[in-house]
Amino acid sequence: MNQDMGEKPIFQGSLFAAGFLDVSIADMPEWQALDDEKTDRIEEGISDILAAFPVDQPVNESQTEDDLIWPVLGCLGWTESLRQQNLSSHGREDVPDGLLFADKAAKERANSFAREWKRYEHGLVVVESKRWLRPLDRRSGRRGEETAPATQMLRYLRRVDDLTTGKLRWGILTNGSRWRLYHAGSRSVSEEFFEIDLSAVLNFPDDSGESTDLPPEARRHWLRVFMLVFGRESFQPDSVDAGTFHQRAIAEGRFHQEAVTTSLAERVFENTFPDIAQAIAGTAPDAEPQDVREASLVLLYRLLFILYAEDRNLLPVRDPRYDDYSLREKVRGEIGRRKDANDTFSETAARYWSVIDDLCRAIDKGDASVGLPPYNGGLFDRDRTPLLNRIRLGDAVMSEVIDALSFEQTPSGRRYINYRDLGVRHLGSVYERLLEQEVLREDDRIVVRPNIFARKDSGSYYTPDDLVGLIITETLDPLVQVRLEAFDSEKSRLTDSSLTEDRRMGRLKLLDPAERILELKVCDPAMGSGHFLVSLVDYSRTG
């Protein structure tokens, strides 16, 4: 069921781990409770809705909402809702398209409040609907579509989270074809969403007019994923302690991430890094051990960067011009298939090395002809690691390296490691331990062994995630608190003021803590991998 190399992506986002969605989700009790009769009924219902929808004609947002989105939500068990509930006490800037409730009683409690924004406290999910196939991550040139739908949803979630003091934290954004789930409690809300292509799941034509023609087994699997993730029951706890399906799914994904990281790290330290160092030293016997160490580290981290960037779509993997040059298409997939077939890899031919070397050149300088911008941060700079420019490692070596970095060995065979599931801190932990490996030459042999001083001697450091969080909290919290207190103080002072409401609001806007916090300027002079700055952005979203 893996979504991996060469397939049109069925899902996006990192709210749930790919390994969980592919495999582990089948172990959840909610999955096992989905019988064939219910699955067939929902598939038939949604397929009928899609078939009746006029995709061959211009369709506006209202029609998409009424004739497609709300009927699909009805198939998923959402029978109680309110439409167009204002999040503000005045104005019409923040008005999500819908608010979903667990049951009729919850809706009745919400309707007992005259003010619409008070009703959100009793809802489960905010819904924002867009016209059929409207892009979700960018604004269009049409009137009334000046804001990207994703930006709009993030604003709604921040507002709802504040209004309900964290009681309502879920949002569904959809254009009828692509369905996206957001969670306000995510560390990085803008990235940690889950999106599924419902058109692809049901083999319905997409914006290109083509269908995916998924195999029946895969189609059934992803339909059940859609049913679970967006179904009403998944947003409700099944007991006091067990929590909701989503909470357990996120926890299972984190467990999977840690397990994959631990397994990957063990392979890197025990085999991959020593194999690379010995292969480089064997190809360049006159090289100094320190040069071998540096070249090995650079090569390994170039590979990890590419694996991570391709699986996270940071490199143009969806651009057909890039297909013939990507590591995922040209190397990972082929090596996996050849390994499964017990094929032999040449010790002298260096086809994989050539593909990787060419790709590294293109990443460093950029190649507009294949849609690749330059990533000239230094990692791929050929002048900084001259040893890598004068060697070629054979397919036998590189196939072992790529296999170890690309696949887990499971009882059922190789399982693709999707680096989309691994965060900066996961790769950072591997990087930190790699820096403590030294390379020595003993009796004409290259030996790799741990040495805590190796990192100090090279001037290389990686700050653990917990320490990064502590530093950011201790540095920024006082600055944030000053701005919050200034706002609260002015609000209290103006309570009994004789000024008009407009003038009072004008003075408060000058001290708006959200705006004042955004005025803070943070400098990380030794940026390195950007670990501090990435964590800082996450802090600003959730702090």
CA distance linking residue 307 with residue 331, whole number of Å: 11
Contacts of 178 (CB under 8 A, 6+ apart): 136, 195, 196, 197, 198, 199
Per-residue pLDDT band for 228 (boundaries 50, 70, 90) equals very high
* pLDDT tens-digit series, residues 434-490: 878 889 988 878 888 887 665 555 555 556 667 777 888 888 888 888 988 888 888
Per-residue pLDDT band for 6 (boundaries 50, 70, 90) equals very low
Q: Average pLDDT for residues 129-142, to the nearest whole number?
A: 88
CA distance linking residue 109 with residue 128, whole number of Å: 22
Q: Counting runs of H as helices and runs of E as strands, what totals does the chain give?
A: 22, 11
- What are the distances in angstroms from CA 520 to CA 107, 513, 517? 42, 11, 6
Query: Strands 437-442, 413-416: parallel, antiparallel or unpaired by DSSP?
Result: unpaired
pLDDT at 174 over 90: yes
At residue 180, the 3 state secondary structure works out as: strand
Q: Which tokens sit at 219?
A: 């189609």
CA distance linking residue 10 with residue 22, whole number of Å: 11
Nearest to 385 by CA among 348, 360, 352: 360
Q: What are phi and psi of 499, to 5 degrees?
A: -65, 155
CA distance linking residue 166 with residue 168, whole number of Å: 6
At residue 485, the 3 state secondary structure works out as: helix
Q: Which tokens sit at 353?
A: 């090395």
Highest mean pLDDT among 30-39, 430-439, 469-478, 530-539: 30-39
At residue 11, the 3 state secondary structure works out as: strand
Q: Which tokens sit at 343?
A: 């094929």
pLDDT value of residue 138: 87
Q: Which tokens sit at 472?
A: 């950011």
